[in-house]
Chain A
Amino acid sequence: MRRSLMLTLMTWSVLSVPGLAFAAEGGTGGWVGPFAVIAAGFGMGIASGLCGLAQGRATAGAVDAIARQPGAAARIQTAMIIGLALIESLALYVFVIAAILLFVQPVK
């Protein structure tokens, strides 16, 4: 009980102190910037990890199908590549967001 209270207080202080410290300067150097960098890195990591899992499943299914039906390899490959592209675009949305957070920095 006491430990969780301490943890909450510590988290709160860690999260709020940079904001307080920089708010005193009159809004020149924001505290969102560092968090944006962390968010970009973590978001890209999560997105590429899950995208890798999904693409692995799709490729495994396609290879399985080709092994069963080598005659249909060309059509299966085409369908697999389209599917991979659609899966990959989800990770690329996150990449675009990460690039915006890192380079464009809409919120300082």
Chain B
Amino acid sequence: MGAIEHPPILTIPGVPDQVLYTWVAMLALIVLSFAATRHLALVPRGVQNMMEMVLEQFMALLDDVIGQDGRRFLPLVATLGLFILTANLLGLIPGLMAPTGNLNTTVACALIVFITYHVIGVRKVGLLPYLRHFAGPLLDAELFPNRAVDFAFKLVLVPLYFVIEVVSHLARPLSLALRLFGNMAGGHILLAVMFLLTAGMIGWAFSGSLGAIGLGLPGSLLLIAFTSWFLFPLKLLVALLQAFIFVMLTMVYIAGAVQEVEHH
């Protein structure tokens, strides 16, 4: 996909770019966490204050979506959210790249979520009851008063329901990974195309003829203004929003695994 985009400026030979910039994001987070916890104070100031505010937001979301025992999942959810946010924001700095703009990183995150919420569900109720809730509400419902007819219908419907449920669960990591990747890579390609257009327009403006100057100069100024005042803030918004959505869907999936089982 390097047809249009400029490769990142800083690279180490032999290390893939997305791995290198994952390390950069990790380093930034480690430095932030270290700075926040170095002088822990009862009345927080500076970095500690900021990190506490961020984590309180995560806790409020967890309380809201999962409920009482949601705070157990704070390490998982906050780590994923902070990593994805930092990785998305890295892509906004010219010359660097967003590790989440590569399918490998997002698939890794989505697979972590996929495996974790199943493990949480199985650990909560055990393997067989967890598998049972894949068969949906049909098993407990009484479809027909006649028991033989009821059994026959369930024999047909329950395997169907089970297959549909399994496919819908398999689609979750796919859509999680593709959503994050598509947003980041799409924004990147859009910016690259806009820069190409701007460069062409500026080149046209300096080509010498009077008409080119008259049309190319306002055109290039318009493109620059559009890119820096609209597209760049839009990418900032998308970076924040996609991290939020990833975290939100993770919590919804965990809540589904924990709560759906409870009222059976």
Interface of A is mostly: helix
Question: A95 and B1: CB pair below 8 A?
Answer: no
Known: A85-B179, A99-B1. A92 touches B252 (CB 8 A): no
Could you say which residues of chain B place their CB within 8 Å of the CB of A104? Answer: 1
B-contacting residues, A63-100, CB 8 Å: 78, 81-82, 85-86, 88-89, 92-93, 95-96, 99
CB within 8 Å: A-B pair count: 40
Chain A CB within 8 A of B33 CB: no
Chain B CB within 8 A of A103 CB: yes
Question: A89 and B1: CB pair below 8 A?
Answer: no
Interface of B is mostly: helix
Interface size of B as a range? 10 to 19
Could you say which residues of chain B place their CB within 8 Å of the CB of A81? Answer: 241, 244-245, 248
Question: B245 and A93: CB pair below 8 A?
Answer: no
Could you say which residues of chain A place their CB within 8 Å of the CB of B185? Answer: 99
Chain A CB within 8 A of B67 CB: no
Question: A103 and B244: CB pair below 8 A?
Answer: no
Per-residue CB contact flags for chain B residues 74-89 toward chain A (1 = under 8 Å, else 0) read: 0000000000000000
Could you say which residues of chain B place their CB within 8 Å of the CB of A78? Answer: 64, 248
* Bound-complex Cα distance A107 to B117 (A): 38
* Bound-complex Cα distance A89 to B183 (A): 9
Kindly identify which residue among A82, A95, A103 contacts B245, using a CB–CB cutoff of 8 Å: A82
Size of the chain A interface, CB-CB below 8 angstroms: 15
Could you say which residues of chain B place their CB within 8 Å of the CB of A86? Answer: 175
Could you say which residues of chain A place their CB within 8 Å of the CB of B179? Answer: 85, 88-89, 92
Question: A85 and B1: CB pair below 8 A?
Answer: no
Question: A96 and B178: CB pair below 8 A?
Answer: yes
* Bound-complex Cα distance A96 to B22 (A): 22
Question: B178 and A85: CB pair below 8 A?
Answer: no
Closest to B185 in A: A99
Known: A81-B241, A96-B181. A103 touches B248 (CB 8 A): no
Known: A81-B244, A82-B248, A85-B245. A103 touches B1 (CB 8 A): yes
Question: A95 and B182: CB pair below 8 A?
Answer: yes
Q: Which residues of B contact A (CB under 8 A)?
A: 1, 3, 64, 175, 178-179, 181-183, 185-186, 189, 241, 244-245, 248-249, 252
Q: Which residues of A contact B (CB under 8 A)?
A: 78, 81-82, 85-86, 88-89, 92-93, 95-96, 99, 102-104
Known A-B contacts: A81-B244, A99-B185. Give 4 more (CB < 8 A).
A88-B183, A92-B179, A92-B182, A96-B178
Closest 9 CB pairs of A and B: A92-B182, A85-B245, A89-B179, A89-B175, A103-B1, A95-B182, A103-B3, A95-B186, A92-B179
